[in-house]
Amino acid sequence: MRYDQRAHGHTPRGQAPLTIRQLADDLHHILTHLVPAGPLVLAGHSLGALFLQELAALHPQHQAHIRGMVLLSPTARGASVLPGRDPRAWLLAAGRSLFALTCTHAPQAVDLLRHRLPTTHPYSLAPQPDQPADGPPPCRHGIRHTHTRDLADLWQCLRRYQPLDATVLNQFGDRLLLMAGADDRHIPAAHTRQLAAQLPAARLEILPCTTHALPIRHPELISDRITRLAAEPSPHPPHPQDRSFPNSLPSGQFH
């Protein structure tokens, strides 16, 4: 099952504040109404990984039903404007900061510009979400239907994120998998490693030559990891020294 988050895809923002806590509460209500008894394997990327962490801390009643969790590009703190200390990173940080400032303080002007972009441009603003017959639009097209004010607020959620208690994830033991791209410049792999250091039984995979577009670049690999967790008959005790899945693909097979 996948669903539109608040202010994503076909789902409007609504009246509630657009925060990670609110997104976690939204998922709590979905799980309560649709799969109250589980079993569940939850997977989230970037912002999705953060509100899964928030869900575990805020709504412990789901813990007994969660068979496994896959966090893609997770962090123990917010997203980074400055992903490194080299000149390219400083230039990237300046551009990001300027763009974020513009989107935050002049979202309507940015929307006008996005409306004028060619419809094939990845940042163009489509007037209405597509209505495909076979399901929701591809996730990479979601930004085309999200207004700039919502994008700015979601970015601020990522930037300012402070976990309630990351160690609550320790209860999942080795049923928790953290995955990150080695070349991620939004949530650097070092941030994911810092989170993994707080979760000694969790499994950790850093994919070489991979950016923040981790689920787009390696959908088959991620599907395999989720499937493995779903196939496990029941939770088993954590093994602190086993921090990877067996039979992981060699580094040379990632492109």
**Main-chain dihedrals φ then ψ at residue 126, nearest 5 degrees:** -75, 140
Distances (CA, A) of 85 to 82, 90, 185: 8, 7, 12
Q: Out of 129, 159, 189, pick the residue that ends a domain.
A: 159
Q: What is the pLDDT of residue 203?
A: 94
Q: What is the pLDDT of residue 141?
A: 58
Residue 56 lies in a domain: yes
SS3 69: strand
Residue type, 230: A
Q: Are residues 209 and 92 in the same domain?
A: no
Q: What is the pLDDT of residue 193?
A: 93
Residue 51 lies in a domain: yes
CB-based burial of residue 85 (10 Å sphere; 0-12 exposed, 13-18 middle, 19+ buried)?
exposed
Q: What is the pLDDT of residue 235?
A: 57
Q: Are residues 71 and 103 in the same domain?
A: no
CA distance 205 to 184: 13
CA distance 21 to 55: 8
Global pTM reads: 0.75
Q: What is the pLDDT of residue 145?
A: 73
Q: What is the pLDDT of residue 80?
A: 63
User: Among residues 54, 15, 21, 19, which one has the least CA distance to residue 154?
Assistant: 19
SS3 41: strand
Residue 251 lies in a domain: no
Tokens representing 76 are 């123990």
Please identify every stretch of the chain with a pLDDT value under 70, giving residue numbers as ranges. 9, 78-85, 89, 92-93, 96, 127-142, 233-255
**What residues contact residue 177 under an 8 Å CB cut-off, 6+ apart?**
68, 69, 70, 71, 202, 203, 204, 205, 225, 229, 245
Residue 109 lies in a domain: yes
CA distance 98 to 191: 23
User: Among residues 204, 229, 219, which one has the least CA distance to residue 41?
Assistant: 229
Domain, as residue range, for 219: 20-79+165-245
Residue 216 lies in a domain: yes
Number of domains in the chain: 2
Q: Are residues 115 and 181 in the same domain?
A: no
Residue 62: Cβ within 10 Å count: 19
- Rounding to the nearest 10 degrees, give the CA dihedral for residues 12, 136, 142, 28: 50
CA distance 176 to 32: 21
Q: Are residues 103 and 135 in the same domain?
A: yes
Q: What is the pLDDT of residue 138?
A: 55
Give kind and range of the element (H or E) at residue 181: strand 176-181
CB-based burial of residue 148 (10 Å sphere; 0-12 exposed, 13-18 middle, 19+ buried)?
buried
